[in-house]
Amino acid sequence: MAEEITRNYVLRPPYYGRSTFADRLAVKNLCGPTCCYDSVRKLWGTKCEDALQNLITSRKWQPFGIEPEWNSRLVRAAREHRNQLETRWVADQEARAQEAQRLIEASYAKSPASWFTAKSTPNTKRVKTGPVSAPKPKEVTPKVAAPIASTITGVLPTPNEEKECADLGFSADAIAFSDTLNELGPRGTLSREGRVLRWCVSLRSGAREHLFINSTNADDFFHDLEVDPGPYGIEAYFDAERLAKLTRLACVKFADRLALRCQGLELLPLG
């Protein structure tokens, strides 16, 4: 029964919960930008799965209709639901990009009808009889071979993708070079900028796991990225602000390594 109740709760935002009047400001901040208030039941709520997890771990807010001993189960359900939404969003973006690519290719296709268009004026010149001198060979200007460019997917970046890449420090040369790297995933359904940002999404998941486990291995991509790290564990796992800072540091490190790889100077993993 607990499994069904928690699943139904996660699938029906906004998520309302009980809190004390003294904690109203702290709870309101934890609700995030999707904060909402039920004036009839006097309940604060949110529509964000990450904010829901932060509210639960704060111990200042209890989900309405959920027993306290079910909180850990609810956190897992919220995490799974968020991952499903992210996967669905990525698939939707790839489908949109694929459709845009199809339309671009269709716009360049030649119309077969043009192959059968007759000439407006028939050729009425008579053919001369007798010996005909061979035509002089035409002078052929040698063509200069064009430089080999990296594979271009044909999907144009959105202004938001360009801005986000610029904010994280990705240079135009590094983004163009990224199209040659198979390790960054499939091509053709995203712009080159979108393909780089998709890797940044995976870095966010790695950053969250690092905050929970705190790997001390020096080869770990996230090792020593935080200048003044706090405690690790379940509270760090749900610390949205700390997660955002660590994710950005990881993305900047990824941009630096990609730039070095572009120059042939860096062979370490990109993330």
Over residues 70-96, the pLDDT tens digits come to: 888 888 888 888 788 778 877 777 788
17 contacts 61 by C-beta, under 8 angstroms:
yes
CA 144 to chain centre: 39
| 216: Cβ contacts below 8 Å, ≥ 6 apart | 223
Strands of the chain, DSSP E: 15-18, 36-38, 43-46, 62-63
Predicted local confidence at residue 115, as pLDDT: 38
- The tens digit of pLDDT for each residue in 121-178 reads 455 555 555 555 556 656 555 444 333 344 444 688 999 999 999 999 999 998 998 8
Query: Is the pLDDT at 215 greater than 90, yes or no?
Result: no
Q: Is the peptide bond before 135 cis (omega within 30 degrees of 0)?
A: no
Which residue in the block uniquely carries the two structure tokens 């111990």? Answer: 59
**Looking at this protein, which amino acid is placed at residue 249?**
L
Mean pLDDT of the chain: 80
**Looking at this protein, which amino acid is placed at residue 130?**
G
**Looking at this protein, which amino acid is placed at residue 34?**
T
Report how far residue 147's alpha carbon sits from residue 101's, in angstroms, rounded to the nearest whole number.
24
Report how far residue 249's alpha carbon sits from residue 229's, in angstroms, rounded to the nearest whole number.
13
Q: Which of 3, 53, 80, 8 is nearest to 211 (CA)?
A: 53
Helix/strand/coil percentages in the chain, nearest 5: 55, 5, 40
